[in-house]
């Protein structure tokens, strides 16, 4: 039998523990699939607290950096997290020391992916990160292998299960964001500090990584336009349903004549599209290729089992000696492409206004839109309320984002408008 692939794992949280369990349970099967045994030689974590995993025979390293230079380790699995600090130093040192690296760290890759890919290629080692995007969905492998014969025209997807769970629950229960978020935190579906999830940052990290792999471009997290879901209300979800849409937080990327457009924000998605029906904690990614057409990948985007499954898939590739550039093309050939300004985005819009129920309001709003040559497709207006404020919902034909923003600034200044307008982009798939 071939010599084992010797593994060092840094981080024994949910995912790290899952990797230990998976390798223990499927060790014999993985030896066949990988062509050699996969053996954990050493582990490192912040504390030696008791865990529900068997670490017998594995060396404990108090300092994870020791894994990077240990002579009896072939591949370092980085599951610490964070875009810098010890995680970045560990990956850099491991690659520089001639070790392969498998990581689930989307923040690290979003900010330093191009640099790390170049180092891996210089050292002729693998930098693998299937687990960094969409959990157990093999989307990186699809871009590297199955779709490599295509020019990607566009990709988009639900990249954060927490947000999808919140929006699904809001729609099913009629409850508002703050209430559902609190319930999600109590149930363990959302972090105590949910900022990275609900403000779109987690999805933006993943989108930046996907964009690099899909378009052969240097990873550009700074070029991602990011909005979260805090301002989406149950009223908006109800109106969306009436208009034939569902609201989803999407990450979208495509090449335009202005550069690469990368954006994360709530979207109105037509009910007749498959992605509208991805619910709860599930993720989905759609890739449109010039020869293959539209392909869709869906599954659990997080959790111990799916993410550990993705980590181990990368380990099997390393064991088999399957080595490809991290972002599909060699790092030195990754294109430096400018980010398309969000003001240049062209699309249709949903706008909800809370206005005083009095004559002339709709005419004033229509006038503000007309000054920017924005035409209306539909309008919904509710009856009178005790407060005197009523919701008015407008949808527009396609227009440029810059024009929409100028119109919104005018509308917000109208005396009859009681609060800041809520605007959600409508996507045509």
Each residue's pLDDT tens digit, 180-216: 999 989 988 888 999 999 999 999 999 999 999 999 9
Three-state SS at 214 = helix
99 assigned to active site = no
Name residue 163's beta-bridge partners: none
The residue assigned the tokens 């999805």 is 203
Please pick, among 93, 99, 141, 206, the residue that the annotation labels catalytic.
206
Provide the pLDDT for residue 323.
Answer: 87
Mean per-residue pLDDT over the chain, rounded: 94
Please state the rounded mean pLDDT for residues 405-429.
Answer: 92
Using the predicted structure, report yes or no on whether residue 275 has a pLDDT greater than 90. Answer: yes
In the chain, pLDDT over 70 holds for what percent of residues? 99
Residue 133 CA to residue 103 CA, distance in Å, equals 11
Lowest mean pLDDT among 9-23, 47-61, 306-320, 384-398: 384-398
Please state the rounded mean pLDDT for residues 94-101.
Answer: 98
Q: Domains along the chain?
A: 5-137+308-325 (3.40.50.720), 140-301 (3.30.360.10), 345-426 (3.30.70.260)
| pLDDT tens digit sequence for 123-160 | 999 999 999 999 889 999 999 999 999 999 999 999 99
> DSSP class of residue 422?
E
Residue 423 CA to residue 241 CA, distance in Å, equals 16
Using the predicted structure, report yes or no on whether residue 60 has a pLDDT greater than 60. Answer: yes
Residue 98 CA to residue 126 CA, distance in Å, equals 10
Three-state SS at 16 = helix
Scored b (16 or more CB within 10 A) or e, 199-222 reads bbbbbbbbbbbbbbbbbbbbbbbe
Residue 391 CA to residue 244 CA, distance in Å, equals 18
Residue 153 CA to residue 290 CA, distance in Å, equals 7
Provide the pLDDT for residue 387.
Answer: 67
């Amino acid at each position: 039998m071939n010599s084992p692939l010797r593994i060092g794992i840094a981080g024994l949280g949910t995912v790290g523990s899952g990797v230990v369990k998976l390798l223990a349970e499927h060790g014999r099967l993985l030896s066949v699939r990988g062509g050699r045994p996969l053996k954990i030689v050493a582990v490192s974590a912040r504390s030696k607290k008791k865990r529900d995993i068997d670490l017998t025979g594995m060396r404990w390293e108090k300092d994870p950096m020791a894994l990077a230079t240990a002579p009896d380790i072939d591949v370092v699995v980085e599951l610490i997290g964070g875009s810098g600090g010890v995680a970045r130093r560990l990956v850099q040192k491991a690659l520089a020391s001639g070790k392969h690296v498998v990581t689930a760290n989307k923040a690290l890759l979003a900010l330093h992916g191009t640099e790390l890919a170049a180092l891996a290629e210089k050292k002729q080692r693998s930098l693998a990160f299937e687990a960094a995007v969409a959990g157990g969905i093999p989307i990186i492998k699809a871009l590297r292998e199955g779709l490599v014969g295509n020019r990607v025209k566009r990709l988009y997807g639900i990249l954060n299960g927490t947000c999808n769970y919140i929006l699904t629950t809001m729609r099913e229960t009629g409850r508002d964001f703050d209430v559902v978020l609190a319930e999600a935190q109590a149930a363990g579906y959302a972090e105590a500090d949910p900022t990275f999830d609900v403000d779109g940052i987690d999805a933006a990290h993943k989108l930046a990584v996907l964009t690099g792999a899909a378009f052969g471009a240097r990873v550009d997290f700074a070029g991602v336009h990011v909005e979260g879901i805090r301002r989406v209300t149950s009223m908006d979800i109800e109106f969306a349903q009436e208009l034939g849409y569902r609201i989803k937080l999407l990450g979208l990327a495509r090449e335009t004549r202005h550069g690469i457009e990368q954006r994360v924000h709530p979207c109105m998605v037509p009910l007749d599209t498959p992605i509208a029906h991805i619910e709860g904690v599930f993720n989905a990614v759609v890739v449109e290729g010039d020869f293959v057409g539209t392909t869709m990948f869906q599954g659990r985007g997080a959790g111990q089992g799916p993410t550990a499954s993705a980590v181990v898939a990368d380990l099997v590739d390393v064991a088999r000696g399957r080595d490809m550039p991290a972002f599909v093309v060699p790092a030195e050939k990754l294109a430096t492409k400018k980010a398309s300004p969000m003001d240049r985005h062209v699309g249709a819009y949903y706008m909800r206004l809370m206005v005083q129920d009095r004559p002339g309001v709709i005419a004033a709003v229509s006038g503000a839109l007309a000054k920017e040559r924005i035409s209306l497709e539909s309008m919904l207006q509710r009856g009178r309320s005790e407060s005197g404020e009523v919701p008015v919902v407008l949808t527009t034909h396609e227009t440029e984002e810059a024009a929409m923003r100028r119109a919104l600034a005018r509308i917000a200044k109208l005396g009859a408008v009681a609060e800041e307008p809520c605007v959600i982009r409508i996507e045509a798939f």
